[in-house]
């Protein structure tokens, strides 16, 4: 039996991750990601900031009700109204946590909060006590701890632990620290606080200097036993510490760490693909652990070495983080049960029989057009099939695009809008441009295209293209996805998906609205 201590993994993809400009997620998308995180076995899922908007409240509530094996956490400023709202959102959780915070750096206290240090301590203690009325599991963060004075940090932390905080999280909010400095900070706090043994020390590092993972690991070496992180390192500005990097560093270097997480790392790729598909934030090919090239050996010397003995150039096994060998998993004659079983293996949970039926119909259609169907195809297809059909006011009926050398491309589209078929025609600079204009001539979303990206899901010329379209209207940002072997059709699907979101009443304000 392992004698290692437990390293708690606190995932904040749905909260801090969503604060990446453009990475907004709907409630249902958040639930899907939360279910995948649960399957990854993360200990705590920070599902949102309930006070930020009614949409955020609903999303935290939905995640709290859907997730059973991970603890679900809601963020709250150190204000009564925020804490009450978080408590309310978490009512249905099997295990809930309230995470409350207030800034402690001189610059934040003076310029942002306009509060004295004494007032900050009093408010922090009051907030923790109030949160304890809802749950025994309260976490406190001194925001901008990385630029706070250590004596003051000691004072605040000792007081909040005495008030009932069971986790004290040390955020490097602006990503200013470097590893030995940050590690020492954690070591000193643990040494100096008389009640340090009554709370778990946690860290939350931002990546402004590219040091979020290194700082988190340095802190773990000094006794931190919770790391806050996000899938693919998503997050405010340059992002947060990437979950997959922290977890794999600790797992791979067990000779250096006295702890380990309990994650099922084979689920990492599923989570990574799901998050990048939903947010439209593509993963760079050379990204550690989850980038397409993370396990690809280009140089002949390396290839030769790996063939002779894998460990000559590989420190982790690709399959341990969920990379499959692009296996052909299903074919055109596969039945519904095999399809459902493979999705389960992939960690994909469909909410209803209707979603399964829709996904299966798309699978059959794809199998007619594409010779080999890989896991990646299935994942894209499921993203397509779980688009909230009930809320889809606009559906693609047919698309015809004419593109010819020397001619301006022209698109003819037929859409069903609220069940009524309508046609649109437009020309454009290219076939995708013409298609978007034709759709827009019917839908009149009046939104601005902020991002258009295409990724080949697998290799080969018959690969599906996965398209993300980001639209903005009146400050509201939505992402649409579509996949197809024909990238113009994939683009049309993605544009229509984004339009359907724009046409729905705003679910939420951006989580950064409010003084956070």
Q: What residue ranges bind ligand KIV (CB under 6 A)? A: 16, 101, 141, 143, 171, 173, 204, 206
- Smallest CA-to-CA distance from 483 within 371, 330, 359, 326 is with 359
The stretch among 10-18, 371-379, 403-411, 480-488 that binds Zn ion (CB under 5 A) is 10-18
Q: Are 43 and 71 in contact (CB under 8 A)?
A: yes
Residue 18 interacts with Zn ion (CB under 5 A)?
A: no
In the complex with Zn ion, the residue whose CB is nearer, 16 or 440, is 16
Burial label, 475 (beta-carbon count in 10 A; 0-12, 13-18, 19+) = exposed
Of 143 and 433, nearer to ligand KIV (C-beta) is 143
User: Total number of residues binding Zn ion (CB under 5 A)?
Assistant: 1
Structure tokens at 226: 């919770």
Q: How far is the CB of 68 from ligand KIV (least distance, A)?
A: 25
16 contributes a contact to Zn ion by CB under 5 A: yes
Nearer to Zn ion, 170 or 373 (CB): 170
- Positive or negative: CA dihedral 5, 232, 12, 344: negative
Cα–Cα dist 337/180, whole Å: 53
Nearer to ligand KIV, 127 or 502 (CB): 127
- 101 binding partner (options ligand KIV, Zn ion, none; Cβ < 5 to 8 Å by kind): ligand KIV
Q: How far is the CB of 239 from Zn ion (least distance, A)?
A: 9
Report 425-454 residues binding Zn ion (CB under 5 A).
none
Q: Does 139 participate in binding Zn ion (rule CB under 5 A)? A: no
Indicate the burial class of 72 (C-beta count within 10 angstroms; 0-12, 13-18, 19 or more). Answer: buried
Q: How far is CA 479 from CA 14, 101, 238, 242, 350, in A?
A: 15, 30, 20, 22, 20
Closer CB to Zn ion, 156 or 378, in the complex? 156
- CA nearest 29: which of 292, 280, 283? 280
> Quick one: 236 or 433, whose CB is closer to ligand KIV?
236
Helix (H/G/I), strand (E/B), else coil: 201: strand
Question: Nearest approach, Cβ of 236 to Zn ion (angstroms)?
Answer: 5
Residue 484 to residue 468: CA distance in whole angstroms: 12
Minimal distance in Å, beta carbon 204 to ligand KIV?
5
Judged by beta carbon distances under 5 to 8 A according to partner kind, the member of Zn ion, ligand KIV, none in contact with residue 143 is ligand KIV
CA distances from 480 to 223, 394, 487 (A): 42, 13, 14
- Residue 94, H or E segment: none
Query: With CB cut-offs between 5 and 8 Å by kind, which of Zn ion, ligand KIV, none does residue 501 bind?
Result: none
What is the smallest separation between the CB atom of 54 and ligand KIV, expressed in angstroms? 20
> What is the rounded CA–CA span in Å between residue 40 and residue 42?
6
Total residue count of the chain as it appears in this document: 516
The stretch among 14-22, 96-104, 207-215, 482-490 that binds Zn ion (CB under 5 A) is 14-22
Cβ 420 vs Cβ 444: under 8 Å: no
By beta-carbon proximity to ligand KIV, the closer residue of 101 and 495 is 101
Residues between 218 and 277 with contacts to Zn ion, criterion CB under 5 A: none
Tell me the closest approach of the beta carbon of residue 129 to Zn ion, in angstroms.
24
Q: Which single residue is written with the structure tokens 């995180």?
A: 37
Nearer to ligand KIV, 166 or 302 (CB): 166
Give the residues lining the site for Zn ion (CB under 5 A). 16
């Amino acid at each position: 039996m392992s004698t290692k201590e437990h390293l708690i993994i606190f995932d904040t993809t749905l909260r801090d991750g969503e604060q990446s400009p453009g990475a907004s997620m709907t409630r249902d998308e958040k639930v899907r990601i939360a279910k995948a995180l649960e399957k990854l076995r993360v200990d705590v899922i920070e599902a949102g900031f309930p006070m930020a908007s009614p949409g955020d409240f609903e999303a935290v509530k939905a995640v709290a009700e859907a997730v059973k094996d991970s603890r679900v956490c809601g963020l709250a400023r150190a204000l009564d109204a925020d804490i009450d709202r978080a408590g309310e959102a978490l009512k249905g959780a099997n295990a809930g946590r309230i995470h409350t915070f207030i800034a402690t750096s001189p610059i934040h206290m003076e310029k942002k909060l306009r509060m004295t240090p004494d007032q900050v301590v009093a408010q922090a203690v009051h907030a923790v006590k109030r949160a304890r009325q809802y749950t025994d599991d309260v976490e406190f963060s001194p925001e901008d701890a990385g630029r706070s004075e250590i004596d003051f940090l000691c004072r605040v932390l000792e007081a909040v632990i005495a008030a009932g905080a069971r986790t004290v999280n040390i955020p490097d909010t602006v990503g200013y620290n470097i590893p030995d400095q940050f590690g020492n900070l954690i070591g000193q706090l643990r040494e100096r606080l008389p009640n340090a043994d009554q709370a778990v020390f946690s860290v939350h590092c931002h990546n402004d200097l590219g040091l979020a993972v290194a700082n988190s690991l340095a802190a773990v070496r000094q006794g931190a036993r919770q790391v806050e992180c996000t899938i693919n390192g998503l997050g405010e500005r340059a992002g947060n510490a990437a979950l997959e990097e922290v977890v794999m560093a600790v797992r791979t270097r067990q000779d250096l760490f006295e702890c380990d997480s309990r994650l099922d790392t084979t689920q990492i790729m599923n989570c990574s693909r799901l998050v990048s598909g939903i947010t439209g934030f593509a993963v760079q090919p050379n990204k550690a652990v989850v980038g397409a090239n993370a396990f690809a050996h280009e140089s002949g010397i390396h290839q030769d070495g790996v063939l002779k003995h894998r460990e000559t150039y590989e420190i982790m096994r690709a399959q341990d983080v969920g990379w499959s060998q692009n296996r052909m998993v299903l074919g055109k004659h596969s039945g519904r049960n095999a399809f459902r079983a493979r999705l389960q293996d992939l960690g994909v949970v469909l909410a209803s029989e209707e979603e399964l039926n829709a996904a299966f119909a798309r699978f059959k259609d794809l199998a007619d057009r594409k010779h080999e169907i890989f896991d990646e195809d299935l994942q894209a297809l499921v993203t397509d099939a779980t688009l909230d059909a009930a809320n889809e006011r606009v559906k693609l009926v047919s698309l015809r695009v004419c593109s010819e050398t020397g001619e301006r491309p022209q698109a003819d589209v037929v859409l069903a809008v609220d069940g009524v078929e309508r046609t649109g025609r437009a020309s454009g600079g290219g076939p995708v441009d013409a298609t978007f204009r034709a759709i827009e001539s019917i839908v009149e979303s009046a939104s601005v295209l902020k991002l258009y990206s295409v990724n080949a899901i697998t290799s080969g010329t018959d690969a599906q293209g996965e398209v993300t379209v980001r639209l903005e209207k009146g400050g509201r940002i939505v992402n649409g996805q579509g996949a197809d072997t024909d990238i113009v059709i994939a683009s049309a699907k993605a544009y229509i998906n984004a339009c359907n979101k724009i046409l729905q009443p705003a679910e939420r304000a951006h989580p950064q609205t409010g003084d956070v």
